[in-house]
Structure 1
Amino acid sequence: MTNPRYTGRQVWNKQRKREILIDVHDVTLGHETKMTWNPQDTWVWSSEIVNPQIIDEETFTAAQQMLAARGRGRTSHKPHRHRHPYVLRGVLYCGICNRRMQGQRNHGAAYYRCRFPEEYALANRVQHPRNVYLREDVLLPALDRWVGRYFAPHRRTETIAAIAAAQGGDGEDTTSALARHAIAECDRKLARYRAALDALDEDTDPAVIARWITEIQQQRAAAEAQLRQTPRQIHLTHDQITNLVNQLGDHTQAIATADPARKADLYTKLGLRLTYHPAEQTVRAEAHLDTRTAWENGSCPRGDLNPHAP
């Protein structure tokens, strides 16, 4: 009832391809291609009958009008959405333009793509292919071995010592230190204001000093509350770290067989950054063990989308 070819004419431009983000809140998940129907007034009909005519054009047009009057449009089966976690989401960069590569599935396999329109490349004077692809399962085995190399038997002692040293000393973290400094500063001001109250003269308004004292007391109470809410840093002993490392067994195998979503979280927490150079077919891997987030470091987590602009 809705197929125009039954009228015997050939029809073109009925559908078009569109690439839409899988998740607008996480662009690193990449795009998926969907077919979208064009308006009927944009269809292109052949001028002659090219196929055996099953229905005449008047009957076909009347059927479309009846369907439109009933409020029914063209329908299609909506496929069930399956989430495919990308292990390297957010950590893989293109070595040509320094932008993050986006995940894309092709024939059931996970790929990462950097799409760079030709006009954009020309405008920014960048020699960049239209698309740069890297297959995930080609890179992961070597990456897992690289991450697990620090836990090899001949390097395990050195790694455990480095983990223990990375915990730092017994000093406070920055938040606690700032809170204690604020409390000390409030105590200094309160002492000065109380001394001013004791030495009042006729030109000093005691209500003003009392208001100052109230404000400082409120600031001191807020700093004390922040100090109480800040958790104390717990340091593991050398033996505790050794036991945890030994319980994991074969670390390379444990990483290789881990759940993709948990492995992606591990790579993110390791501060992993991978840069793919398509001309050399190489990937440069770096890991920065830093607990600060990308926002705290002053950069956008999506990376610079236009690094070559003035």
Structure 2
Amino acid sequence: MAGPEGTGLRLVPDERTAPVVRRIFDEYLADRGLQVIAEGLTADEVPSPGSHGPRTGDGVAAWSKSAVRAILVNPRYAGHAAAGGCGKGAAVCTPVLPSEVFERVRDRFDARRTTRTETDPGGAAARAYALRGMVRCARCNRLMQGTWNNAEPYYRCRFPAEYATANQIEHPRNVYLREQTVLGPLTSWLRSAAAPHWRVPALRTTEGRARLDAFRAMELRMVYDDSERLLRVKAAAGPDGTVLRGALPL
């Protein structure tokens, strides 16, 4: 749809998906958690982001917490321009919902973040995850999320039964990976595979943010197969960007 002369295109709501966006905001403000909202959308066979075409009796791709969160924090639904504007050449974003609704959701996110900080001071530092954002589940290809169990870090892929049915895959409700199970074999492999391309730092003695930064510098990516207890690893070694790949039994 064209905008005023000289302003380029005007972004307007998709009438098929706008009611879904409003539903997500309404349910979040009604104190429903992100996971509960995602499961409800999946159970109602609402097409998830990236789904195309009409719904069928075979089900649709399942919603995730991250997809729900991405909608709730996107200012464009309230007609606000995000960084870079509403789109190339666009002058106006037509709101899907009132600005005050978006502001209430943002305030609730901020309040919950503050509450976590006050009730668990230093928690972020104390619960540092060395492999944050680097491990995917081989069954569903989703990022595994950090979780604290028995006073140590784990990574978990939580996949409710209805998600598995909707996506037509076999997946346990929870897949867990203990961080300490990974660090030893991973460090040894990196030292062996990277030589002579790159000198791997003493990762076993490096802690917290420094260790996370060291792994990120290597562009470390992993896929964990719980059925075989196998970790597939990819990393970049040295300034020439030599790509390393390996499979580590755990």
Instruction: Name the TM tier (shorter chain).
Output: 0.3 to 0.5
TM-score of the aligned structures, taking structure 2 as reference length: 0.45
| CA radius of gyration, larger in | 1
More helix by proportion, 1 or 2?
A: 1
Determine which structure has greater relative contact order: mean sequence separation of CA pairs < 8 Å that are 6+ residues apart, divided by chain length: 1
TM-score of the aligned structures, taking structure 1 as reference length: 0.36
